[in-house]
Chain A
């Protein structure tokens, strides 16, 4: 029984990093549509969630996500509120 709890704790802690990476990625697209750096997005919560090396990994994943999404032409940024919106023309 105790081992099940240990496994649940392990999966829960891993999930913290998954959540942090995913929310960082979504937040990045919602609030920083320009293809600038993501240097200032590191926070105490993120460091605690994914660590020092993990912080660099998450930043690179966000940058890669931006490049991929923009290169594929499926997404465009709205000029007015700088919120990512789906482009009908761009999608297949």
Chain B
């Protein structure tokens, strides 16, 4: 049984690292949670505060390139608990609220999400419990089985003729989507390196999905991700952990594919929404391959590492520099897509979103090139 200190106890653990007193952070976090989600938000924030202060799933600062404080990796677990309570309660008490399993596709989808989350949870509780290759095989197996059992999740057209041709070939289409799915989940896990980065992207994505469909599950995920986002950005006490990045990655992937399949969203829209993790993943793999290292070895050469270093020299608080990094990246990619969607400037089913995606890629490469040119090479390209 992990020991839990009182929330006040957090103050003495962290005073040496943060420029703003911890008590003020707690007040700010609870204020925003109360304004956005009332008593429920306060409850969710309290639950996250308590879980963040358990000894279970603690992550040493050195394991995350940006973070300087010892934080909890149980962010994903906290989100899962809140979503479970909300959905289970709502389904039990209101017969007029649709549940999770609307059809077989959703049943398989949530089974795959659960398995991915559990895979990450094992890693959060006991690091290196499973070897990287075993985790990769497990992800391929689960997602491969999902797409085999639910071929309705495989898009037949994404607006790129060459890829559409292959997607329409039965086995090749399945294999392509499975490889993409595993890559996407790994990309989201790799991008989880700054406060509010992946939570911000997930928040924007769930807001888009909820506005489009209004499903209770989307609402519960939007709620949990909003509270986690507030917590993560203000305090920096939490990481999503592998539970969060694998679980949320699987949900976002499946929702995105469903949205493209049913024609509500274009593939270009999804590319623009999830641009940062995907591009950062590809660029990181190429960078490591060119350096003669394993493509999946960790290093500090990501754009968020370099942007954080740039900001740290200009902002006194390390947590603020960390949070600004996440907010700038998630805000200028997924956040911007959300705003454009809200303003209805561009229809979500339009292929013109590919243009926005190209703009994001050019912006990513330009900023990365600039930051690389002004920062020492070895510090950021060496393995951790």
Contact = CB atoms under 8 A, between A and B. Distances in A.
Interface of A: 2-3, 6-7, 9-23, 25-26, 28-29, 47-54, 57-58, 60-61, 63-69, 75, 84
B85 A15 contact: yes
Most chain A CB within a 10 A radius of its CB, from B3, B82, B97:
B97
Nearest to A3: B4
Contacts, number: 146
Contacts of B37: 17, 50-51, 53-54
Interface of B: 3-7, 34-44, 46-47, 50, 82, 85-86, 89-90, 93-98, 102, 210-211, 213-216, 219, 222-223, 226
B214 A63 contact: yes
B50 A18 contact: no
B210 A60 contact: yes
A11 B219 contact: no
Contacts of B86: 14, 17-18, 21
Given A21-B94, A50-B41, 6 more contacts: A10-B47, A14-B85, A20-B40, A51-B41, A52-B35, A54-B38
A11 B45 CA distance: 10
A69 B90 contact: no
Nearest to B40: A17
Contact of B223 (A10, A12, A57): A57
B41 to A, nearest CB: 5
B220 to A, nearest CB: 9
Contacts of B82: 14
9 contacts: A6-B50, A10-B44, A19-B93, A23-B94, A29-B96, A60-B210, A61-B90, A68-B98, A75-B96
Contacts of B211: 60
Contacts of B215: 64
B7 A6 contact: yes
A80 B211 CA distance: 34
